[in-house]
């Protein structure tokens, strides 16, 4: 099928043009009425550490923990949240990647100043093994190709799953649950790889899932650009709905390059 331009210019922040009928697929207990923020129930498929991330983020948003405040000692904080110390440590690491706290060796974590755009560069947990550029190069190679494959064979049910994922991501952003948004974002991309029909790609992708998830958190530091990936996902879904491999590959590649920019990685993918 020839490439047909697909745009999301009319979508806007509320995503009003999306089909709300796909909401039944979502694994939360949200009603059909769209929430404007808060009280978003945690999907059961996500780990305990995410609930700790969400609750600490709520403490910061409410002012219970203000910029410059130290978080309570880990033992005390873990007990108050009802989580294990390892789950809390994972939650704190996620919060640091998302720009909410700063962790220094031998000291308690401190709440960071809020920011709308990139502040200090995020801590990249996998620097000793892979650079951020390594990860985005890998994603460009795998995800652009599998998007093209998936577009040739995707079923209406699978397209509906992708639309439902977009709706779920919008709810997470409205609720200011950035970690949930990152995980739903990662699921969107993993679904497409699975829809490609190639059995090896999902296996390879799964072996790097923690690294890929961390890459999905990085662009969330650009707080004033949280809705951009939603619009970009809509373009990709529309290309799938048209069974347009050229469009799917184009919009996936464009999305990944813009994601790299939102992550603070500039001008390194123009020739790929």
Domains along the chain with CATH numbers: 48-111 (1.10.10.10), 126-262 (1.20.120.530)
The count of other CB atoms within 10 Å of the CB of residue 22 is 18
Q: Looking at the predicted structure, is the pLDDT value of residue 204 above 60?
A: yes
Mean of pLDDT over the chain: 79
Per-residue CA distances from 177 to 56, 57, 182, 192, 251 (Å): 11, 8, 9, 23, 26
Closest CA to 254 of 80, 7, 2, 79: 7
The answer to whether 175 touches 38, Cβ cutoff 8 Å, is yes
The pLDDT assigned to 39 comes to 45
> What residues contact 57, with CB distance under 8 A and at least 6 apart?
95, 98, 100, 176, 177, 178, 179
Mean pLDDT of 80-98: 86
The pLDDT assigned to 119 comes to 46
Structure tokens at 201: 């790609």
Confidence grade of residue 92 (pLDDT, cut at 50, 70, 90): confident
Structure tokens at 124: 């990249």
Tens digits of residue pLDDT in 2-60: 333 333 333 333 333 333 322 222 233 333 334 333 444 444 566 767 788 888 888 88
The answer to whether 178 touches 220, Cβ cutoff 8 Å, is yes
Closest CA to 240 of 104, 164, 149: 149
Considering the entire predicted model, what is its pTM? 0.72
Per-residue CA distances from 26 to 34, 131, 162, 175, 230 (Å): 13, 34, 11, 16, 16
Distance CA 108, CA 142 (A): 39
Distance CA 85, CA 76 (A): 10
Distance CA 174, CA 203 (A): 32
Distance CA 213, CA 98 (A): 12
> What residues contact 60, with CB distance under 8 A and at least 6 apart?
66, 100, 111
Distance CA 200, CA 194 (A): 9
The pLDDT assigned to 263 comes to 87
The answer to whether 41 touches 30, Cβ cutoff 8 Å, is yes
> What residues contact 76, with CB distance under 8 A and at least 6 apart?
none
């Amino acid at each position: 099928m020839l490439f047909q331009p697909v745009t999301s210019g009319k979508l806007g922040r509320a995503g009003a043009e999306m089909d709300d009928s796909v909401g039944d697929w979502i694994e939360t207990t949200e009603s059909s009425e769209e929430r404007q923020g808060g009280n978003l129930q945690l999907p059961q498929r996500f780990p305990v550490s995410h609930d700790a991330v969400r609750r600490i983020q709520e403490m910061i948003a409410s002012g219970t923990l203000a910029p410059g405040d130290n978080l309570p000692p880990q033992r005390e904080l873990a007990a108050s949240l009802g989580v294990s110390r390892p789950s809390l440590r994972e939650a704190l690491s996620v919060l640091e990647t998302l720009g909410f706290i700063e962790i220094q060796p031998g000291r308690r974590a401190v709440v960071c100043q809020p920011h709308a755009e990139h502040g200090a560069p995020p801590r990249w947990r996998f620097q000793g093994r892979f650079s951020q550029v390594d990860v985005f190069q890998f994603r460009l190679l795998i995800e652009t190709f599998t998007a093209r494959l998936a577009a040739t064979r995707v079923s209406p049910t699978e397209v509906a799953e992708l639309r439902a994922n977009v709706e779920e991501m919008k709810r997470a952003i409205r609720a200011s649950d950035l970690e949930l948004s990152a995980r739903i974002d990662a699921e969107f991309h993993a679904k497409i790889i699975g829809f490609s029909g190639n059995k090896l790609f999902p296996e390879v992708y799964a072996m790097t899932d923690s690294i890929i998830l961390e890459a999905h958190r990085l662009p969330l530091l650009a707080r004033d650009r949280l809705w951009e990936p939603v619009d970009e996902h809509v373009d990709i879904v529309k290309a799938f709905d048209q069974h347009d491999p050229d469009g799917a590959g184009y919009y996936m590649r464009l999305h990944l390059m813009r994601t790299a920019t939102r992550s603070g990685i500039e001008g390194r993918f123009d020739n790929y």
